[in-house]
Structure 1
Amino acid sequence: MEQTATFEAEPGTAVTYDPELVRVGSRAAVQSRSRNGSTTVRLAVRGVEPRRVYGAHLHANPCGARPEDAGPHFQYTVDPMQPSVDPRFANPQNEIWLDVVTDETGAGSAEATVEWEFPADRRAGSVVVHAMPTSGERVGVDTAGARVACISVGF
C-alpha cells in the first residue's frame, strides 16, 4: 500500500493544522507492507519545517477538520483505558511510531517495523504528525506535542 498527498488547509487526504510547522503545499508519502507476521511502515515528508524533529504515529481514524478527529494511537492490543498511558500498551512494539528528522530542505523519512499484521477487522486510519519528537520517558497520550498535520491512509 502506498499513499502520497499534498498537505492542504482544509480536510482531505492530508491536512495541516499548523501551517508554520507543516506548510500548505508540502508533501508526504506513506508506504506499508505486511507479511509473514510483521508490518513495516515508512513515512517521508518534503517541504516541511527544516532541521526539526517531528513525532508521528499511526492513529485509529482518518483525518478530519479537527486534530482530535484522528482518534487515539492505533494499538495492536488495545488498552481498555483510553487515552492510553499504560506502557504495556503505549509503546513502539504495540503502536507504530515514525519520528522524522528533517534536513535543511525540510525533507526527512522514518521507518518502523512491528512483529504483527493489522487485524482483518481493524486497521489504522491515518498518520498524525506531531510538533515534537515522541518522548521515550513519558509514554502515552500527547507525549509528542500538538497534532500539526494528518494523512489519511487506507491501511
Structure 2
Amino acid sequence: MRRLVPALLALLSVPALTTPASAAEAEFEVVTARGEFGSSAPTYEPDLVPVGAKASVFSLSAPEFGTGVTLVVRGLLPNREYGAHAHTKPCGPDGAAAGPHYQKRVDPVSPSVDPAYANPSNEIWLDFTTDRFGTGFSTTRVPWQFDADRRAGSVVVHETHTHTHPGHAGTAGARLACLSVAF
C-alpha cells in the first residue's frame, strides 16, 4: 500500500494537468468505481476472487496526458498473480458479457492475440500481484483518451498475468470477476 500513494500522486502531478497551456488542455476527466465482489460486482470464480473482496478503479484522462488508470483490490488470495484489463462492456451474469478488451486501435481479427493490437499501449492492462494480506494494486498510463462514442465499460480480473507472445498476446486465462466502470 505504501507504493499506492506515490502512484496516485504521480497521476495527479502531471504538468499538463497543473499548468495548462490553453483552455482545451485544462479539460480532463476523472472516473471512479468501486464494488464488492458477490454483491455490487460479480465474481465468477469465488475460490479465486472470494465473495466480499473489494475493488476500486480511479481513472484520470486529459488531452496532453492520455489516460491513467489505477486498480486497487483487497480480500483476494494472498501472494497470487492476477491479470486485469479494461473491457468494452459493463459486467454481466458471466465473464463473456463484458466483451473483449477495449482497444484504441481495434484488431480486425477476434479474438485478438496479435501483439500489434493486444499490447499495453493499445489496451488498458492492470496486472497485479497480491501481498500476504490479499491486497494488490496496479497503475498504468496510455498516451490516448477514450473516444466519445466508444468507451470501455468494465475492468475484468483474470486468472493469470497477461501473455505477450504472438498467438497468445493479451490472454490472461479465465475471467474471474468484473467491476463495471463508466469510462
- TM-score bracket for the superposition, by shorter chain length: over 0.9
Q: Which one-letter code corresponds to 1:121 in the other structure?
A: D
From 74, 80, 89, give the equivalent of 1:46. Answer: 74
1:140 aligns with 2:169: yes
Partner of 1:85 in structure 2? 113
Partner of 2:96: 68
Query: What is the match of residue 28 of structure 1?
Result: 55
**Structure 2 partner of 1:5:** 35
8 Å contact kept, 2:103–2:123:
yes
1:137 deviates by 2.7
The number of aligned residues is 151
Pairing of 1:13-24 with structure 2 (within 5 A): 13-24=40-51
Question: Which residue pairs with 1:99 in the alignment?
Answer: 127
Larger Rg: 2
The CA distance in 2 between the partners of 1:29 and 1:85, in whole Å, is 28
Runs of 4 or more off by more than 6 Å in structure 1?
none
What secondary structure does 1:16 align onto? coil
Q: Give 2:26's aligned residue.
A: none
| Structure 1 residue runs without a partner (length 5+) | none
Q: Which runs of 5 or more residues in structure 2 are unaligned?
A: 1-30
> Taking structure 2 as the reference length, what is the TM-score of the superposition?
0.79
How far apart are the structure 2 equivalents of 1:3 and 1:47?
A: 17
Secondary structure of the residue that 1:69 maps to in structure 2? helix
Q: Which amino acid aligns with 2:182?
A: G
RMSD of the TM alignment (CA)? 1.2
Identify which of structures 1 and 2 has the higher relative contact order when contacts are C-alpha pairs closer than 8 Å and 6+ apart.
1
